Structure formats: C-alpha cells, structure tokens
Structure 1
C-alpha cells in the first residue's frame, strides 16, 4: 500500500468524521451549548462568590427552582406547540395571592385551597386556549392582554386584602411541610416539581399526545392533514400552562407566606429567557423537559449570582434581556444553517481498497460476457413497479413486492392473472417462506413482517439491541433487506445500513462504511439481536444445506462470505468470494445444491479508484449534485451461479440492460429462473436447460407437503 493510501486509510478509519455528523444530527445536541454554559456559570460563580455552592445556598436554590422551573416548563409546553404565553407571571401572581387569602384570611383546609388554585389556573389557561386555539387569535397579543387583565385583578384584590392577609398566619403542618419540609432531605416543593417534570418527559417523548404536540408546533397544516385536532391540542397546552403556573404560585406562597405589589413582575421575561436558553424553539416543534430544566437552572444561577455580587435589579433585568436577544439570534441562525452544516459533515466516506475486478472479456473467464438474458419471457409488464425480490410457492404462484407497499401474487402456472395478496406499506424487499407457509418480508424503513396464508399481516420486529458504543441509534431498523429461515425457525435477515434510509442507498455506496449487519429474530422468544455487526452494505442471505450456516453478500466490497450460527464452527466467518465483477445483491439456492447470485451493477475502474480516495468522494458529495456522482453501472444485468468453494459455475448477462437492468434477485423454480429488479417494472423468466423441472425451493427447505 502506498504511503498516500496508508494515510487516507488511517484518517478515514480513526478520525471520527462520521461521528461529528451523527452527533450534530441528534436532537439532544441542542442541549450541549446551554449545558456547557450552565457548567461554566457554576464554575465561575462558585469560584468568585463565597458560599455560593454551600448546602444552605443549594437548598434555597432548590426551592426557587421548584417554583421557577414549573413556570418555565409551562411556557415550554406552549412554545413546543408553536405558541407563546406571556401571562404566566400574572397567573403565578394570582395563585400566590389567592393561596394566601385562602390560608391566612379564610383559614380553609390546605387541600381545598390547592384545589381552588388549580381550578383558577385551569380557567386562566382555558381562556387563553379558547382565544388562541379555537378563535385563532394571535398568541402574542392575546396573552399580552390576558397578562394585563390578570395583573390588574391581582392589584385590585391585593389592595383590598393586603392588611387582613398579612395579619393572618397559618399553623397548618401540611402548609409548613409543603413550604419548608423535606422528603429524604430533598425539599418537598422540589419533589413535586420533579415528579411533574418526569411525567411531562414521558408524555413528550414516549406518548402520542407529546408526539402530536410536537407535530402541531413543527408543521400545523401537516398535523391537521394527518388527522390531529390542532385546535384542541393548542387549547390543552394553555390549560396545562395555567395549571402549572398556579401550582408554582401555591408553592411560592407556602415557602414565603407573603406577597407584595411586585410579586411576579418580570417573571415572564425570566421564564422566556430560560426556555430559549435551554434550547426550546421560539417557532415551535422543538423542546423538552431537559431543555426547560437546564434553562431554569442557568437563569436562576445567573440571577442569584448577580444579586450576590451587588448588582441592582434593573441592571440584572437588562443583562437578562441582552442574554435573551443573544439566545434568540443564535437559535435562529443555528436552525437556519444546521441542515447546511450537517450536509457538509454527515457524509464521511471510508477508505475501501477492492481486489482487482475479474476480467469479463478475457477468453476462459468464468464471467465471460453473453446475452442469454436478452430474450427472457416477461411477466407483469407495467403492472408492478420495483419487484426487488421474487419468490414462488409450491402451487407455482409467484409473489413480488412493489414500491406502492403491496405484495402482488401472480397465479401459476402461466402467471397471467394477478392480485394484491397483501398491502403492507413501505417497499417490500427480501422474502422467504417459513415452515408453516407464512411469507416473511423485509420492509425498508419498517422492519420484518409476516403475511400468513390467510393474508393476515403481522409485524415481527422493527428494532434490535442497541450497541453500547454506537453513537447512531442502531436499535431501529432502517433498511432491512433480505431474509431466510434456519431449520429451527430462527429468522436471519440483513440490514444494509444503520445510517441511511432506502432512498439514500447511493449515499451509503459513496461512503462504503461498515454500517450494515446481519440480524437474528427468534419467533420462540420474540427477541431480536445483531448477529454480525460492521458489514459493508449487508445484502443477500441464504441458508446453506448443512442447516448450520448461511451465505451473505456485502455489496460494496463485491464479496460473498459464509457464517456459521451453529455447530462446531459457530461464530466463524469465512470469505467465499473475495472479488466479483459487480455488486452482489440477493442469493438463493439452485436445484443442483449450488447458489444463484444477482449482481445489481457492474464495477468500473474509475469507481474502484475513487473507493481508495475518501477525500475525493467527500468533496464530490459536497460540490456535485447526487445525480452526477460516480455510480455503479446499473445498466447491465447479470446473474452468476457459484458453489460453496466460491467457484463460478455459470453466468447469465443482459448486456445493455434491454430486458433486466439492475437485477437484484432471482429464484429457481421447476426448471425456470425468475428475475426481479428494484428499478424494473416487470419480472423475467428464463428457461434453465439443465435444471430439475420438479425442484421447488419450499419443498427443498421444509420437505414435500403431506
């Protein structure tokens, strides 16, 4: 290997360019900057302010956070939906006032006061929700008006009740426990806030209402078209906001036991600053509980630190205002340029040195060119699109998938008549029959599915075990590809890549990084696990007759390997074919005990050279339109037969791709070879001169039907 190749290899292997792209693509990356700012703030203020991090200071901070964090969380929920609630401070102030009136003046039981305060918060939120959600008034102006109205009510009632309210004092143990008590050393109010925060985290990240809320904020029209009741969702966010602000005011009243004319003044600016600093998008569709917590702590730390440093209130408010403007500017610029930055760094080609391609035009070559597929019979011309894989049952019925999400069945023996056997969605790719006659299907972007003989569709699995060291969330199946079944019923299937979806296969080819894998699903336990990781576009898979191993293809390395999942060689992988003239796709058995292999495209010297130049391919991805990238030659179709030693026994070509360019699958059945192609609108049928006219793969796997 030349020194330049060595440098390119080491750089692409050990410098984690692709990890940078993966990190930037994560939703939690928005938390990185505010979290770093929070840590930096703690370090700086802790070093210049005596006792800033003392136990008593942290206890006070925890109680303040319990109240302020609820207000920020309330505002965050509204902002995620694409709205804004400027009345949070006024609702908070009203809750403080009426809590003290109920406890100190009328001496009502604490649960009754709490219930009344929550009802008040619900009513305030419902007013905003009705005006913004159902009457479709502008959120900013509407909540600004409600801020003024609620604040006016506070000042009117405060003037009338201030004397009697301040002269009273509650001796309720429950009231003292809420305001000053602890649970295992943690302030009671903080425990309440953390429970609510956890509940909201589950709603936003794990439950349908949270997903719908994010959808409403991200694209309101699309959410409506998807069947989401947008007005009701917006209404609920304001109700939730009013409720949490009311609870925050109740906790504040229990802690201080008093209120003043300035209670809550400026709180909406602080809460908005905290929400934006935490990473919640002003435009909606992006936000989380973690962002609200980080922003709340950051603003509280800054505010308390500035007060401890002797900086006056107006200057503190000015500083927070400047921080808010800066955060809004950074957020807008980041959202505007994030995808552009991600597009530049996400695609990270690897160094891939392929063995020399076998000669296809030399005399005596096992891959010698021919046009034997030029005259294949055509099935279903124009009736189907994208039959990536084809398969036949014992009754000679022919099945294939289409890009419209259907599995089409052509009735044997002439395959003139067809029907939609099942509608699954996605694009059905590899298929196999199990012992019970169920049709197993890999669906790009959806996982592994089963279609029973009665046409019942069942999802078997759409995720596998998460790798502890993987930055990519590799638990979700992105591109399940080909599938086969072991004698004991275990299902093995390939996933081509964990980085890209089906429509981005060309980008994965450009990268040629080991991001594919072989996966096993066990129907007996219902568990799925990764059997072989780090494969370069794992593709075709077929069981070997020994029942202990299978053949699999890695498309971009132009190779075929054999893996033992049972027996004395369990866990061992051996290379069967190290260099093919094209890129292998599906593999299937032949009637003579050998294997058929489809080549989806042919290699070329320019692309082989580019595989050893990751920097060149990265520049190409940045500067050249995808339709002008170097591609495999997919205009020529080819099928080869090989044995377990890797020897090529036969080959079938369609030079120029007149009938079958980009062949992705083939099945032998009763003396015929059936051809599928992911870009074709037909199925081909070629008569094999020396094949067993009675051989059926389903019988060969599971024995003749009784």
Structure 2
C-alpha cells in the first residue's frame, strides 16, 4: 500500500506541471511570432561583433542607426501594404522623388524646413494615392500596377534631375532645424531614430488597437469575407497606399537632410531590400498578419547584414545574392510555418494529467443505494418540445414565467396558464448558460465566450463584466473570460460565477475532461464597485454555482472531479474551502435551492469504469490523442444523467433518473417551482416538468430568496 501511494505521488508530481502545455500556450501568443526573427537579429549582431573588430564602436552604431532611421520608414510603409494583402514596388522611386522634392523646396525655392517637409509629404501622399486609386478603386493588380508606377516615377525623377541639376547644385538652404534633422541628435539618439520611434508607436496603436487597422488586417486575411462583413475594402486599400507614400516620403526627407544629394541612383533596389526586411521580420506575404515591430526587426537584420558584409569586403552582386538567399529562406520558413503552426499546436495542446477518482457508488435500480436510478424523469411532461435547442439552464421569475437559454443565443420565455405562451424574450449574441434573477428582477446570465450579462425587465441587454484579475506569471492572458458557466447572487448583491475552463471554448469544452487539470476558477463580481476578482484558481471544470439558503457560503460543482465544494463567504469560516460531497457517481452540473432547505443537483452524465481507469493513465490518454481522430477519443459519459437531492451536510436524500436517457439524455439543470421540478439539458429539445410530492406547492425561488416585490 505504501509503495502504491508513493508511486501515485510521483506520478502526480510528474504530470502536475507540463512543459508541453507551457510550449503549446506559448506558441499561441501573438508576441511569439517575432521571437524567431528577433533572436536571429541578436545572433547576427553578436556574430559580427565577434568577427569584426570595432563593429560595436559608437561611430559604427551611430552611422548604422541613421541609415536604419531612413530605411525603417520604408519598411513600415511596405509592411502596412503587405498586411492589407497588397505590395508596393514603387517605394524606391517614391523615396527618390521625395528626396528630390525636399531638396528642391528647401534649396531652390528657399521654403522653410517645416514647409518643405509638408510639401514633400503631400507629394508622397499623392503618389501613394495614384497607386491606391488604381488598385483600390479601379481594381488593378498590385504587383503590376506598382511596377509600372515605379518606372513612371523613376522616369519623372530622371527628367527633373536633368532639367534642374545645375540650379540645385548651386542652391543651398540654411536652417538649424534642417541640419538637426540630417545630423543632429537628442541625448545621443539620432533625430531620425526619434521620429521613427514615434511613428512606430503610433503605427502599432493604429494597426493593433484602431478599427482601421483591424479592417486592414481583415482585408489582407480574406478580402471577400471582409467585403461581405461590410468593411469598405476599396477605401481602406486606398488608405494603405497613401500611408505607404507618406511614410516613404518621410524617409526621403531625412535622407535629403543628411546627404543633400538629388542623385538619380537614390532608392534604386530599395523595394527589394524593404521586402526582404519585412519577410525576414515575419510579416506574412499573403497578408492579414504582421506588425510594425516585425518590420523593424527585419530592417535591423538587413542593415546589419549589409554593414557586416561590406566590412568583410563583399559588395555589389555578392551582397545582393546573399540577401536574396536569405529572403528565399525566410519565405520558405514563413509559408511552411503558417501552414503547419495550428497543426503543431493541435498535436501538443491537450496535455493529460494524472487524476484518480474515488470509489464508484452502485447506481443499479435494485442496489438500495441513495444513488439508485429510477425512471421518475422518463414520463416528464415536455414543454417547448421541438422548439428548443439545448436549454442548458431553466429559471422562473416572481410571476411564475419560465425562462431558458438555447444554443442559438436566444432567451425563451414561457408564460400564461400552464406556460402555453412561448416567445423569444431576448437575444444575447452568445451561448447563454447559467442564469439567476437579482433583487431588481434583472435576469443575470453567463454567456459563453462573452462574460456575464444582464437582461432588464424591458428586455434590454447590458454587460456586467467580461474580465477578471490576471494571474501573475501565467503565459496566457487569463484576464478575459472564456467560458463563464453558472452563477448565483449573494444577499449583498455580489455575483459569484464559475469559469469552467480557460483553455477550451464552448465548442470544445468536453476536451477539458481529457486533461483532468485545474483549468477553471471561481470569480466574484461586485455591481456596487464594478470590480471583478478571482476567488479560487486551478479548479477542475467548476460548474454549477449556488449560494446557500443562509447566504453564508457558495456551493459549486467540479464536474470532472465528481464532487461538490463549499466556499464560505461570510461567518467565522469566511474564506475557507471544503469538500461537501466527494465521489459522486456522475459528473455534477448546476446546483439550485429546494423548497425544504435542501439542494437539487444535476448530474450531466454517469461515470464509467473505462473513463475512471483512463484518468489514472495520462500516457494512455496522450497516445489516444496523438494516434486516433478526435471523434473517437474516450470522453466521459455525458449523455445519461439524473437529478439528486442533498441536504446542508451533503447527505443524499433522493434521486430522479431516466435510465437510458430516452426523454432526457443529458440533465444540466433543474429548478423547483410551485410543486414541480423543471429539467433542462444541454442536448435536449425540451424542458421537462415532473410533479413533486411532499413539497411546498406555493414556493417560488426568486420570491423565497429575495422576498416579494415591494
């Protein structure tokens, strides 16, 4: 026995924390996408620092930084266009034109530096608008269009240089601000780097936090779907090319201020370098994915490589060939990773742990056990038969109207004599699960994937909370609610609710059972302060939540653990957690108060020997997940449940079942109301009604808990 206990302890410790789970969650993070290129950039810098004496000297760093500042604007410009699903091959020509226009305005026409910059940026916007009009509104192909405009802009530049070269050679402007733009700094940081940092911050906010940025990414991901979603595709494509023109022109301004040279070779090949930079940074060439940070990381790699190769003596064709090879390699990796990233995550995402359930109770009809099954639910009267799709929870208001939520996101209401009047009371926009009425008769609902919402008596829907306190040190951001499941309201108005799992959604929640981990939590929301905080973490699929009759504690179900917990919220035991019922014969779901001071509990499914054994063998479940399709995985039996009644001490009073699940294949909730028990089920097409005996036939849940309406 001692050896067995020691072995179990070792297995528990082995599977308690999983590096595989850490990696799977890490791969899901968006900030992981630039980690590889960022690491590559650091390694390239360290390699050249080791191989080239004086590579990290102040002079070399400042010189490279000034080039980085100018080229960085072009990289950001082309990244924005690529994210939208396009491409801009004209950036090199626009850069050269901006350089020429800036020098012409400042030197020849002797405009002030700010005015010269404004004119140059306007010219960049105009050239970008030409691309945007042809591609966005007329619908021409981006590659061919920008290739043609690249040639046209370059030809115009050559004509202008031929016409004005002599005049520009003898014209010089004088401005301390202009000189500062070209060679000045602030606290040692070059002026163009300061401007680039400001643009990068604004651009990041624009792309990741602003609606136009979301639209641009959506267009790049799927232009047809974006148009069907009502996004003005043409306008935003036009906008991306205008932004590209302005940013490229801004880089040209700093180049003009630094070198004061209107050469016809300016910007030649820059479009290839910019494309190489954004691809090396991890921006997806097919569109829809990328960031400002990734483009700047790629810019760092390209400039460091060019600088290092030049100092090694490789120039001209050798450098271009090397960069071309790097771009080809990056594109290949990007395509392969984009196609297989989700598959890789799926292969390692489900991480089984060791979990041993207690002894199973005998549930045979003739066993004499408190859990002995019967068919008291078999002949339940059907309400809403055929109209309801998965009424997960059912509840009554003070007036005796019946409510339930369905898979379509509807809240149905049944009213009138014998509940014959049926109507859609409200639409939540998500999957409504647990429900409760507050003191003011607002219907409070857990909506899967959205959070906790309310429906006022006038049917208006409002949000209460969709986030909670974030766990320090956790890889995934668990501040957002993923699967708010069930709730109840304490006498002081605080809403206690469960979040069943952080790792799975309303569509894949059953997969959480294969892990046996504490992926859920108990949370409290205080309407008086608007604050939400997490009370209990690492709970094994916490589900039904019920405030006790005296308001001193909260009962909640741990579905896969097959037990009921009690958390004290008031009195001398406040803050203490204890097990109320251990080793249930099935998976517990919702808990609700009964008229006699006891509680009703739904068992959504019954335990099986195969599932119990599988939970003790994480290796078996891991092999199962890897080797067979997910529709053949061994899931818990969640299609043959029952209802049990227990008292304050956890003693089982009675059981109501439907052997074989002919009328109610799954039971996720039940409510006692005026002498009847009403049954809801996640897989049912009806609400069941069963007549109870020996109960208070005038008892109404909300009225008994909150009192009659004043």
- What TM-score results when the alignment is normalised by the length of structure 2? 0.97
CA distance in 1, matches of 2:462, 2:620: 45
Residue 586 of structure 2 contacts residue 641 of structure 2 at CA under 8 Å; is this kept in 1? no
Question: Which residue does the alignment assign to 1:308?
Answer: 311
Secondary structure in 1 matching 2:418: coil
The reply on whether 1:22 has 2:25 as its aligned counterpart is yes
CA distance in 2, matches of 1:156, 1:513: 71
Secondary structure in 2 matching 1:529: strand
User: How far off is 1:313 after superposition?
Assistant: 2.5
Secondary structure in 1 matching 2:631: helix
Map 1:198-213 to 2 at 5 A: 198-213=201-216
Residue 355 of structure 2 contacts residue 615 of structure 2 at CA under 8 Å; is this kept in 1? yes
CA distance in 2, matches of 1:148, 1:705: 78
Question: Which residue does the alignment assign to 1:675?
Answer: 679
CA distance in 1, matches of 2:572, 2:256: 73
CA distance in 2, matches of 1:204, 1:605: 53
User: How far off is 1:2 after superposition?
Assistant: 6.4
CA distance in 1, matches of 2:380, 2:95: 77
CA distance in 2, matches of 1:516, 1:148: 60
CA distance in 1, matches of 2:485, 2:386: 24
CA distance in 1, matches of 2:426, 2:373: 39
User: How far off is 1:5 after superposition?
Assistant: 4.8
- Higher mean displacement: 570-579 or 68-77: 570-579
Map 1:554-569 to 2 at 5 A: 554-569=558-573
Question: For structure 1, which runs of at least 5 residues remain unmatched after alignment?
Answer: none
CA distance in 2, matches of 1:164, 1:113: 17
The reply on whether 1:75 has 2:95 as its aligned counterpart is no
CA distance in 2, matches of 1:468, 1:62: 36
The reply on whether 1:631 has 2:629 as its aligned counterpart is no
CA distance in 1, matches of 2:671, 2:677: 6
Pick from 560, 566, 591: which aligns with 2:595? Answer: 591
CA distance in 2, matches of 1:8, 1:151: 69
Question: Which residue does the alignment assign to 2:119?
Answer: 116
User: How far off is 1:546 after superposition?
Assistant: 2.8
Pick from 573, 598, 601: which aligns with 2:605? Answer: 601
Question: Which residue does the alignment assign to 1:698?
Answer: 702
Residue 620 of structure 1 contacts residue 629 of structure 1 at CA under 8 Å; is this kept in 2? yes
CA distance in 2, matches of 1:132, 1:548: 66
The reply on whether 1:171 has 2:174 as its aligned counterpart is yes
Question: Which residue does the alignment assign to 1:409?
Answer: 413
The reply on whether 1:137 has 2:126 as its aligned counterpart is no
- Higher mean displacement: 621-630 or 499-508: 621-630
User: How far off is 1:415 after superposition?
Assistant: 0.9
Secondary structure in 2 matching 1:557: coil
Runs of 4+ in 1 over 6 A off after TM superposition: none
Residue 395 of structure 1 contacts residue 412 of structure 1 at CA under 8 Å; is this kept in 2? no
Question: Which residue does the alignment assign to 1:535?
Answer: 539
Q: Per the alignment, do residues 7 and 142 of structure 1 end up closer, same or farther by CA in structure 2, a change over 3 Å counting?
A: farther
User: How far off is 1:179 after superposition?
Assistant: 1.5
CA distance in 1, matches of 2:648, 2:96: 79
User: How far off is 1:8 after superposition?
Assistant: 4.1
Question: Which residue does the alignment assign to 1:507?
Answer: 511
Residue 390 of structure 1 contacts residue 401 of structure 1 at CA under 8 Å; is this kept in 2? yes
User: How far off is 1:256 after superposition?
Assistant: 1.7
After superposition, the C-alpha distances for 1:166-198 in whole angstroms (9 at most, x for unaligned) are: 333222011012222223432221111111111
CA distance in 2, matches of 1:42, 1:570: 57
Residue 371 of structure 1 contacts residue 652 of structure 1 at CA under 8 Å; is this kept in 2? yes
The reply on whether 1:246 has 2:252 as its aligned counterpart is no
- Higher mean displacement: 366-375 or 305-314: 305-314
Map 1:149-188 to 2 at 5 A: 149-188=152-191
The reply on whether 1:498 has 2:496 as its aligned counterpart is no
- Higher mean displacement: 63-72 or 626-635: 626-635
The reply on whether 1:653 has 2:657 as its aligned counterpart is yes
Pick from 257, 267, 287: which aligns with 2:290? Answer: 287
Secondary structure in 2 matching 1:113: helix
Question: Which residue does the alignment assign to 1:522?
Answer: 526
Considering only aligned residues, what root-mean-square deviation do their CA atoms show, in Å? 1.4
Residue 8 of structure 1 contacts residue 613 of structure 1 at CA under 8 Å; is this kept in 2? no
After superposition, the C-alpha distances for 1:505-528 in whole angstroms (9 at most, x for unaligned) are: 121112222110111111111121
- What TM-score results when the alignment is normalised by the length of structure 1? 0.98
User: How far off is 1:25 after superposition?
Assistant: 1.7
- Higher mean displacement: 42-51 or 598-607: 42-51
CA distance in 1, matches of 2:318, 2:158: 25
- Higher mean displacement: 667-676 or 256-265: 256-265
CA distance in 1, matches of 2:585, 2:129: 68
The reply on whether 1:442 has 2:474 as its aligned counterpart is no
- Higher mean displacement: 409-418 or 443-452: 409-418
